[in-house]
Structures are given as C-alpha cells and as structure tokens.
Amino acid sequence: MLRRHLFSLAAGAALALGLSGTVQAQDQFIVVQSTTSTQNSGLFDHLLPIFQDKTGIEVRVVAVGTGQAINNAMNGDGDVLFVHAKASEEKFVAEGHGLQRSDVMYNDFILVGPSADPAGIAGTKDIAAALTKIAEVGAPFASRGDDSGTHKAELKLWKEAGVDAAAASGGWYRETGSGMGATLNTGTAMGAYVLTDRATWISFGNKGEYQIAVEGDNRLFNQYGIILVNPEKHANVKAEAGQMFIDWILSTEGQQAIADYKIDGQQLFFPNAEG
C-alpha cells in the first residue's frame, strides 16, 4: 500500500508538471495487458491519444482474454493490468503480482440471439432461467471458451443455472477459443446465442437480424479494474510511467473521458473510480 502511495505521489507530480525526468523521452511507452472488449469497443482509440498528448507517453495495448492478460502480467510482460474479472484481479494482488487494484468503470453483459429465438427467451430478464431453457431445447450457444473475463462470467452463470455446459461441448455448446468480436461473428453465422459485453455489442457491425434476448439481471454486472504490475517482482516494469497512466485513468479527467466515449449516442462504459 505504501509503495503504491509513493508511486502515486511521484506520478501525480509528474502529471502536474507534464513530464518528469524519467519520462521525458518522446519514445517513452508502457505496455498495458488488457481485454478484447476495451480494444474492440474502440475505448482505447478514444482514451490513449488524450493521455499521450498530456504526458508524451505512448500506451501499447496487448488485447487478449482476461485470463491470458493476467498470465502475461504475472510473467512480467507488461506494466499495467486493465481487465474485468475482479476475483482473479484480487488474487493477482494478494499473491504479490500487483501493487493495488482499483475500480475503473463498469457496464453489463447481455445475451444476444437470432430473431427466430429458438429457446423462446427474448425479452426476459432472468439469465439463469434463459440458460436453462437454451440447454433444455439444445439451442446453439457460442462460448468464447478462452478463460476471458466474459468466459469466466459465463461459466459462473451456467453453474448458477445448474447446467453442465461443458458436457455438451461439440454439440449445441460450441467453444470458439476466440475474442469477443470473433465469437460474435461465429455465433451469428451459426444462429447461436452469445453472451457478450454490451460495449462490444454496440460497436459490433455485423448484427444482421440478431437482437438482445436477455438483459437487466443484476448478475450481468461487469466491473473493470486496473493494477500496476509489481516492479519488485519484475525489474523491467516501468512503475512511474505505469502509475501515471493509472492515476490519469482514475482522475476526474480520465473518468470523464471514459464517460464521454459513445457510439450512436450510447455510452459504452460508466466510470466508477473511488474519489
């Protein structure tokens, strides 16, 4: 906690001055291990130029599933972790791989499906009941199957529904092993239901006759968090520049920039950093 506070003080001073001694070079960059949803939604294309203009620091994003992003950060392949699987993030910090986790923003998951709606679940709110019905009728379901934050949330929901979806793998339950956008493309091609984050769905350009089938269940809440990779474990971590990015994301300016990002008038992420 003290280490994070000291990094934050140094980075805050650097932000106030514009640049600091160790981040003056125009080619200074950090690596952020993040998710496909933050990348596919266009959020980083909106945020990162603002941060770079302010600090001169380039942010290079590795957009993979949350599970892979966490593994990459554990191996020291990155300076900042920005993902959406809170329990896994807290474990990452508890095991000493990161200094502190902070809430950044949230949105929600939705279940989308074809207008034919073979499971008869369109317009409902109970996600567990909807998944149960999908399993009962054997309607196609496309899963990311990649240990991402979305996949972790999906598996938890199947468990709550009392359905062993893995037992149906290769049948009505198909695992793509791909990111969110690719899984949506696969799902729409095969007429399958898909659990997706709302931001990726809003920005997805291949909806066809697909529509939101289930939304609004509290269990579909989707929280994102941010963590500085522990420089004591990995000497290559650019702690000062990484903390500058974190502090900006959590600042009033950064939070407003997140809120300002919209597609067709729809806000994709809702900032909720503490104080």
The helix/strand/coil state of 206 is: coil
The pLDDT value recorded for residue 274 is: 85
Point out the domain boundary residue: 220, 240, 255. Answer: 220
Reported as a pLDDT band with limits 50, 70 and 90, residue 40 is confident
Residue 243: per-residue pLDDT: 97
pLDDT value of residue 21: 45
Q: 99 and 112 share a domain?
A: no
Query: Residues 69, 35: contact at Cβ < 8 Å?
Result: yes
Helices 149-161 and 127-137: crossing angle in degrees, nearest 10, is: 80
* Statement to judge: residues 112 and 209 lie in one domain: yes
* Residue pLDDT, tens place only, 175-213: 999 989 999 999 999 999 999 999 999 999 999 999 999
Kindly report which listed range (1-5, 191-195, 248-252) carries the lowest average pLDDT score. Answer: 1-5
Q: Are residues 90 and 141 in the same domain?
A: no
What's the structural domain count of the chain?
2
Residue 157, number of CB atoms within 10 A of its CB: 21
> Are residues 144 and 49 part of one domain?
no
Whether residue 102 is predicted with pLDDT greater than 90 in this model: the reply is yes
Last residue of a domain, one of 220, 240, 257: 220
- What are the residues whose beta carbons fall under 8 Å from the beta carbon of 177, sequence distance 6 or more? 144, 145, 146
Cβ-count burial of 11 within 10 angstroms (0-12 exposed, 13-18 middle, 19+ buried)?
A: buried
Report pLDDT for 8.
Answer: 53
Give the residue ranges of DSSP H helices in the chain. Answer: 2-17, 36-40, 43-55, 66-74, 86-94, 127-137, 149-161, 180-190, 198-203, 239-250, 252-260
Claim to verify: residue 196 and residue 228 sit in the same structural domain: no
Amino acid at the residue 72:
N
Predicted local distance difference test score (pLDDT) of residue 7? 54
Q: Are residues 39 and 171 in the same domain?
A: no
In degrees to the nearest 10, what's the CA dihedral of 37, 201, 252, 20? 30
Has residue 19 got a pLDDT over 70? no
55 and 20 assigned to the same domain: yes
Six-digit token string for 156: 């938890």
Report the Cα 155 to chain-centroid distance in Å.
16
Are 216 and 226 found together in one domain? no
Residues 193 and 125 in one domain: yes
d(CA 68, CA 61): 13
CATH number at residue 192: 3.40.190.10
The pTM assigned to this predicted structure is: 0.86
Distance CA 269, CA 272 (A): 10
Residues 181 and 54 in one domain: no
- In percent, the amount of the chain with pLDDT more than 90 equals 87
Q: With cut-offs at 50, 70 and 90, classify the pLDDT of residue 20.
A: very low
Beta-bridge mates of residue 267: 262
**What domain range includes position 47?**
2-106+222-271
**For 106-112, what is the mean pLDDT?**
97
pLDDT of residue 207: 95
Question: pLDDT at position 26, please?
Answer: 43
194, 220, 246 — which closes off a domain? 220
Is pLDDT larger for residue 4 or for residue 115? 115
Looking at residue 11, its pLDDT comes to 53
Q: Is the pLDDT of residue 5 over 90?
A: no
Please indicate, yes or no, whether residues 164 and 185 belong to a single structural domain of this protein: yes
pLDDT tens digits for range 46-65:
999 999 999 999 999 999 99
Same domain, 6 and 95: yes
181: amino acid identity, one letter:
G
Amino acid 58: pLDDT:
98
Chain center to CA of 189? 24
pLDDT tens per residue across span 128-149: 999 999 999 999 999 999 999 9
Point out the least confidently predicted range of 9-13, 79-83, 141-145, 226-230.
9-13
